[in-house]
A and B are shown apart, each in its own frame.
Chain A
Amino acid sequence: MTVSKAFWKIVAKNIGVIVTYTIILVMFGTINMSSNSSTAQFEAVKPKIAVFNHDSENAFTNNLLEYLDKNAEIQQDYSEDSVKDDLFYEAIVMAIDIPENYGKDFVAGKNPELHTRTSSGYAAELAKVMLNKYLATAQSYTVLDLPADELAEKINKVLDNEIEVETLSKIDTTQFAKPTRYFNFANYAILACVITIICLIMGSFNRREIRRRNLVSAVEISKMNGALLRNSCLYSFGVWLLYVVIGYFLVGSKELLNLRGVLYLANSLAFCICATTIAYLISRLISGRNATDAVMNIVALGSSFLCGCFVPAEYLPDFVLTFAHILPSYYYVAANDKIGTLQGLEFSDIRPVLINIVIILGFSVAFVIAANIISKAKQRE
């Protein structure tokens, strides 16, 4: 009881750490969920463009503007001053300058020059393809010497005629991008919260004078260690529960209250157990607040960056992903990504997720064994 009391007193004293990392999770988790880096949503997004029209009223140019409006998101009342910065930060992906007499010259078959400025990236490529498609179609028809309105009519008829696309997916998995991103980002918050607090507590109990006092006390050392371990697990469970509740509000109940949601929760619980054992191992290796902060930051940030928690794993270089296989975070993120793209929820579908969860638990066992070996070696010293 005395050990448990001391444990929770230290937790209460360091509640600021939990609050800080929870705020980080809520803030950056929300930003991460609202960003649109997933390729799966690519098709649904219209590229953002700016148009500076210097041409006079003309059926051809008007039709081009209507086409752009239909296929892209044109920024209204846009200032020329913002173009350079917005292209860099990809707030817009293309700026189009339509020169004077453009429509008239195009219909006359002069193939006038159209100026564009584009950012890099797929959205910019999509915008280029879109503009190119319109102008190529229009240019093909110039051999018929049609007036501007007839030319516009023919262009629209061709461009409206899209081919048929069949999708094999039984369900649209883009709806699960949010919980996947939230739980991937939670990797950092879980590691930071669990490692910092547990290392601090273990460090306090391992301080030479405290340890010596405990050794001569009436409490058996095995019982004290048992109480510390139980309370550490209870604390980690509390952190997990807190992040699940926050996830429920951020992600939404629809995505979490089903079998897929249960898989996300099971995976994060397994990772929380693993984080507890990592903290247990670190506490055997180092002590002191400053050293704990440094090691925690390197472990939490390192594994989050290298395993695809902050930046999706598909963007990471191959050698980084190969290296990441030695870290439990890799299997945690891989399981989350897999849960987010499951087409069915039969045992055969969820088997890869369960394998990853078992690997995470395997890491936990390995960390406990390593911690005990180090502990015994230190006791002999």
Chain B
Amino acid sequence: MFWHSFKYALRSLLKNRSMMFWTLAFPFVLALLFNFAFARLHDYDVFEAFDVAVVDDDEFRDAEVFSEAFKSLSEADENRLFVTQYVNRERADELLEAEEIEGYVYLVDGEPHVKVKKNGTNQTVLTTAVSQISQRIEIATDIIETKISKDPMSAMNIEQISKEAIEAVSEVEPNIKDNSRVMNMVVIEFYTLIAMACMQGAMLSSEMIDRALPNISSRGKRIAAAPTRKSVIILSNLLAGYIVLLTGVLGLIAFMRFVLGVEFGSNLGLICAHAAAGSLAAIMMGMFLSVMLKTNSSAKNIIGVIVTMVGCLFAGMFGGQKGWFDSVMPFVNKISPVGLITDGYYALYYYEDMTRYFMNLGGLLAIAAVFMILSVQGLRRQRYDSI
């Protein structure tokens, strides 16, 4: 009888086009849109040489050290910062006005000046680079002057001192060891989307249980009158919903991983286990809402959507505010299924130690267990005086 009921639950679920759209198709559409919108958000940070100009007048030609240093930053190699045009002042102004260059450099009394149209990232890079060249010249001059003031006789050997000073500023290599792993923050958006897809299970199971409840639907009355145990009906409906949901979620993960190239870490088993636990928690939450709330199906759906979307907001779906929410209300993401699903995938991707992942997995299973126990308590020995 269980498999008979399961078969019809599955068939009726698959024929529900609206439910199938929101559970199976909509997360794929969103994943595609996320991919379009966020594709360059991370790549945008990768530096590319940009257009600038230098006023090529007598001042610039006379300032040999400065002009050589600037030209070296425009050479076509991997350290290139600028694509430089050497023009007169009028042309530089025209180029800047037309936004064909980000800014231009000119010298007044040997001092470099920068002219930009507006403030921005490239303008900051140009200013910083020109400032560094200027400061290096200043340091070299200062080193020469200090050495001569300490030992006036060394002025006789000015060429040697100048050479040492130039070496001192040009051969510096700050000893900074960067221990970072380059990570892509955008993956969180995709993890929250998986969590959202799992949470569609709440709507799905709520609908499935509502069908079996005599006080909600006429089909429920018929089922209640049938000589089949309530537990068989409920379990078969839940299993059908769970299988459809999990298939959709795993398909979504495969689509993200293999088509969109979203990184999840390398442990395929744990990636699937987390999807299974997340889907289970959502299915149980839907059952809980359906059993406990004495209202119609659409009101239960609205509550499910609110829980999901607020969870998504706290988990970082809308603009990476997770860090801020965690600092203000740290407990929310510890008890929200959306937060636990997102954080589990984050732990798999970013952490080598699996403790955090298993904490999240355990949290999801605990939520599923609590909802299941409460729902079973609610469903047991339900009797109706009148329907």
Contacts and interface: CB of A to CB of B under 8 A. Distances in A.
A54 to B, nearest CB: 15
B185 A158 contact: no
User: Which 10 A-B residue pairs are closest in the complex by CB-CB distance?
Assistant: A135-B174, A89-B323, A290-B18, A305-B33, A139-B172, A168-B117, A91-B323, A166-B115, A143-B168, A311-B37
Interface in A206-235: none
B18 A84 contact: no
A89 to B, nearest CB: 4
A168 B96 contact: yes
B30 A301 contact: yes
A141 B143 contact: yes
Contact of A35 (B40, B131, B169, B319): B319
Contacts of B26: 294, 297
B97 A126 contact: no
Interface string A160-182: 01111111110011100000000
B177 interface: yes
Interface in B1-35: 17-18, 21-22, 26, 29-30, 33-34
A136 B318 CA distance: 40
A302 B36 CA distance: 10
B40 A315 contact: yes
Interface stretch (A36-44, A236-244, A260-268, A276-284): A36-44
Interface in A113-168: 113-122, 125-126, 128-129, 131-133, 135-137, 139-141, 143-144, 154, 158-159, 161-168
Interface string B360-386: 000000000000000000000000000
Contacts of A317: 36, 39-40
B113 interface: yes
Given A85-B323, A135-B175, 12 more contacts: A39-B121, A90-B323, A116-B179, A120-B184, A133-B132, A167-B115, A167-B116, A168-B118, A172-B119, A173-B118, A301-B30, A315-B38
Interface in A247-302: 290, 294, 297-298, 301-302
Interface string A86-114: 11111100000000000000000001111
A31 interface: yes
Contacts of B326: 85
Nearest to B119: A43
A305 B36 contact: yes
B119 A87 contact: no
A306 interface: yes
Interface stretch (B133-141, B208-216, B227-235, B271-279): B133-141
Contacts of B178: 116-118, 128
B116 A165 contact: yes
Size band of the A side of the interface?
35 or more
Given A117-B179, A125-B47, A144-B147, A169 B117 contact: yes
Contacts of A154: 142
Interface in B147-200: 147, 164-165, 168-169, 172-180, 182-185, 188
Interface in A314-358: 314-317, 320
Contacts of B112: 163
A144 B143 contact: yes
A363 interface: no
Interface stretch (B50-58, B122-130, B239-247, B255-263): B122-130
A131 B119 contact: no
Interface string B64-78: 000000000000000
Contacts of A120: 42, 45, 182-185
A309 B148 CA distance: 62
A310 interface: yes
B323 A165 contact: no
A314 B41 CA distance: 9
Given A89-B185, A140-B172, A161 B33 contact: no
Given A137-B135, A306-B33, A143 B175 contact: no
Nearest to A85: B323
A121 B326 CA distance: 22
B355 interface: no
A27 B370 CA distance: 32
Contact of B120 (A42, A310, A311): A42
Contacts of B38: 311, 315
A114 B180 contact: no
Nearest to A294: B21
B88 interface: no
A172 B169 CA distance: 37
A136 B143 CA distance: 14
11 contacts: A42-B124, A89-B320, A122-B121, A128-B178, A144-B146, A161-B134, A167-B115, A168-B116, A290-B17, A311-B41, A316-B40
Nearest to A142: B168
A311 B184 CA distance: 16
Contacts of B30: 301
Contacts of B335: none
Nearest to A111: B175
A324 to B, nearest CB: 9
A357 to B, nearest CB: 23
B113 A132 contact: no
Contacts of A41: 119
B120 A39 contact: yes
A316 B37 contact: yes
A80 to B, nearest CB: 13
A301 B130 CA distance: 44
Q: Which of B118, B123, B143, B321: most chain A Cβ within 10 A?
A: B118
A27 B165 CA distance: 58
A43 B127 CA distance: 11
A114 B13 CA distance: 60
A65 B41 CA distance: 32
B37 A305 contact: yes
Contacts of A67: none
A28 interface: yes
Interface string A16-44: 00000000000110011001000111111
Contact of B138 (A84, A87, A161, A164): A161
B331 to A, nearest CB: 16
Contacts of B323: 85-86, 89-91
